Amino acid sequence: MKKFLMLLASAVLLSGCATATMPVSGLLYANVKAPLTATASTEKPTRVGRASTRSILGLIASGDATIQTAARNGGITEIHHVDYEAQNFFGVLAEYTVVVYGN
């Protein structure tokens, strides 16, 4: 029973890897950009705002990657479209960034 618990604990500890949401992923490295949403705004966007979150080993994660924060960081009051960028380095470090375009 003790060996089983040690095996289970080891599996849980070793399975924690840093990941970020992305349409495709790479085992060792990933750097992906993709669309998230769009609005009916017809004006060409002149400003860009970003907001990010980060994860280390899938154990520690922090940040605020909301559309509202990205818009505020870019001084945007009318959103044109939203993209995202995701990076993953060997499952050790992951970053997810929301990019808002607008005026």
> Per-residue pLDDT for 37 more than 90?
no
Is there a domain that residue 75 lies in?
yes
What is the tally of structural domains in the chain?
1
Is there a domain that residue 5 lies in?
no
Is there a domain that residue 38 lies in?
yes
Q: Which stretch of DSSP H or E encloses residue 63?
A: strand 60-63
Q: How large is the average pLDDT for residues 74-93?
A: 92
> Per-residue pLDDT for 15 more than 80?
no
**pLDDT, position 19:** 58
Is there a domain that residue 57 lies in?
yes
**pLDDT, position 41:** 83
| 26-60 per-residue burial string, b: 16 or more CB within 10 A, e: under 16 | eeeebebeeeeeeeeeeeebebebebbbbbeeeee
Is there a domain that residue 71 lies in?
yes
Q: How large is the average pLDDT for residues 87-102?
A: 92
Domain hosting 68: range is 21-102
User: Residue 102 pairs with which residues in a beta bridge?
Assistant: 47, 79
Q: How confident is the model at residue 2 (pLDDT cuts 50, 70, 90)?
A: confident
Q: What is the pTM of this model?
A: 0.76
